[in-house]
Structure 1
Amino acid sequence: MTIPAIKPTQRGQAMVEVVVMTGVIIALFLGVWYLGKFHDIQASTIQAARYAAWERTVHTPATLSNTTLENQTRARIFTWNQNAFFAADSKSGTQAWGQQSRMWRNHSDSASKLLIKDPAAVTVTTPATAGKLPGNAAGAITNIVSKVSGVLGAITGGQALEADGLYTSEVSVALNAAALPTTKPADFNFAPLVLKEKSALVTDSWDADGAPQTALRTRSFAPASAFQRVNTILAPITWALSWIEPAFKDFKPGQICPDIVPNDRVGNGILPVYRGPASGVSRCY
């Protein structure tokens, strides 16, 4: 039996395939390694964008400046804060990050090469004022309600509902080029790389900051609230009428008590009637 000779053109073919595949495997390994790091940073960037948008729903730039919000976002989202949040939480400029996720480091030099070099690499942008609600229908309805409540509020002394309720934010994280791999396949060009995420929140125009604002916003849609302006004049009349009918002692037209539940709503011992704080402080407006 004769064994056919190996053709010269086939010599070293397996070695060439191994060399080619080795390059591909190394490229995939580096890519998956760093893509995992990038994805972890991006997850925190998404959280930071949501945090910044939420803060803008409760704090205007007048009460919480953009710089303060940016510094707080850096300190609370991009560092490991093992304690409760404090008002003094802040990271600005080239300050040291402190304790940070090891995922955000180049493992070849974990002591110095941070993927997010310093707080200045993280920027937070929020608009100065709330934006219009998206959609023509929502915008039209909101404008009508706002104008109606404004006109009625001028008569009753109430507060107009807000027409704008869209709060947005954008967080940008510039990765440190020095921490990215310098020896890599040509197809893996990591630098410069900036991760950006946006977030948006739509608020309810009826949201109120406590009982006083609840009364003010409700008053715009309660016509009887117009009598609130003349309660001082009506006081002697109701006092005189209370001698005939004692119920006139509680006759205060236009008064709104957000935290007081009437007897006829929770009476008969089913639920207790809440009549305001025990200290006797009035909760009517």
Structure 2
Amino acid sequence: MQSGQAMAEFLIAMTLVMSVLLLGIAMLGKFNDVRNRTLMGSRYVAWERIVWTDGDAKKNLVSDSSTTEGWSSTYGTPALAASKLDSELKNEVMQRVITGDWSTLSGSDRKQIQLSNSLPAMWNDYGGQPLLTSAGDVAVATSVGTDPASSQTRSALVPFSTVATGTGGQYTSKLSLPTRTLQSGTVSISIAQDSDVLKRLWHKDNLLAAFSGLTFSDTNVLMSNTWVPDGSDKNKAVFSQAVPAANVVMVQPYGYLGLQKYAPEISTLEFGRSKQDVVPVTRLSR
């Protein structure tokens, strides 16, 4: 009789323990889904930042010529118009990453400041309450860093030629490229800040504090290339820096104008000519 009672008590106790254990395992699966979407969000943000410039006036990147924004202000101003703020990237993460599987993308996602109407199916606790309840629990930030020492952009800035000028000086040929193009995107998602179900599963004891929520955070880093100069004038401004004769006097006129009586056309010489390509009208009409 006593052995039967002990077995019954054991089964009841194990049922309770296994129930809690199974609930805990399933909840870990929910947490893992939040973690995975946090990783996806940081990758999305980093990728968007290398495609869209950062127009945040507080960062004032446009005043730093070593950044893509600063370089573009001189050689490709249209790129500055193709910009997104961190707050707009956050809105897109909420509408495109923290959303149900069948949600559609929209060009207005960057303006939606609230959570998606369709959160992921796993993002509810056992009481049916959403783990994520506020857009304020989602944080997105981007930053720009200096390119690593192994980057080719650093070697591209090293002057590649120094020549003597006709005035007794020297000119160093170089190119202007941004060297701070290491874009970082960070996404943080805080969940279950006030979940009664999880507080009952993980209550306060002498050693551990009561459950008060979890925060998942991830940072992804990508290095972008510089933007292409906009238009022929900007291309000329970039590449003429590598042409010494386009910037300084290489040969003094008195060194060759004396030969004009033998070759009258010598007076029309253009040392270091750097001109935009012009398509002849006759070709355009064909």
Gaps of 5+ in 1: 1-5, 230-251, 261-274
- Change in Cα spacing, 1:157 to 1:147, as seen in structure 2 (3 Å) is closer
What is the root-mean-square deviation of aligned Cα atoms in Å? 4.4
Q: Map of 1:12-23 to 2, 5 A cutoff?
A: 12-23=5-16
1:115 to 112, 115, 131: 131
Q: In 2 relative to 1, CA 56–202 (structure 1 residues): closer, same or farther, beyond 3 Å?
A: same
1:124 and 2:140 aligned: yes
Partner of 1:70 in structure 2? 90
SS of the aligned residue for 1:104 comes to coil
| Alpha-carbon contact 1:48-1:73 (below 8 Å) kept | yes
Change (3 A) 1:38 1:66: same
Please give the per-residue CA displacement for 1:115-164, whole angstroms capped at 9, x wherever unaligned: 1102111110112xx20134xx426x644432538x99xx7998611112
Q: What residue in structure 2 maps to residue 203 of structure 1?
A: 224
Highest relative contact order (Cα 8 Å, sep 6+), 1 or 2? 2
Residues 174-199 of structure 1, C-alpha deviations (whole Å, 9 max, x = no match):
10333462432659965321111111
Distance 2:49 2:24 in 1: 37
Whole-angstrom distance in 2 between the partners of 1:87 and 1:102: 24
Hey, what's the Cα distance between the residues in 2 that align with 1:142 and 1:163? 6
Q: Does 1:191 align with 2:207?
A: no
> Which structure has the highest strand share of the two?
2
Asked whether the 8 Å contact 1:172–1:196 carries over to 2, the reply is yes
**Code of the aligned partner of 1:25:** M
Match of 1:145 in 2: 156
- SS in structure 2 of the partner of residue 43 of structure 1: helix
Q: Measured at CA, do residues 21 and 143 of structure 1 come closer, stay the same or move farther in structure 2, by a change above 3 Å?
A: same
TM (norm. structure 1) is 0.60
State how many pairs are aligned.
224
- Distance in 1, Cα, partners of 2:245 & 2:90: 43
Asked if structure 1 preserves the Cα contact closer than 8 Å seen for 2:159 and 2:172, the reply is: no
Q: In the alignment, is the contact (CA less than 8 A) between 1:76 and 1:89 conserved in 2? A: no
Cα distance in 1 for partners of 2:21, 2:276 equals 67
Shift, 1:75, TM fit: 2.5
SS of 2:111's partner is: coil
Secondary structure (helix, strand or coil) at the match of 2:14 reads helix
Percent of aligned pairs with the same residue?
Answer: 19
Q: Does structure 1 residue 103 correspond to structure 2 residue 122?
A: yes
- Pick the aligned partner of 1:24 from 1, 13, 17: 17
TM-score, length-scaled by structure 2: 0.60
Equivalent-residue separation in structure 2 for 1:108 and 1:44 (angstroms): 22
Q: Distance in 1 between matches of 2:34 and 2:9?
A: 38
Distance 1:51 1:102 in 2: 21
Moved more, 169-178 or 95-104: 95-104
CA contact (8 A) 2:89 2:110 kept: no
Q: Which sections of structure 2, spanning at least 5 residues, go unmatched?
A: 57-82, 164-170, 250-271
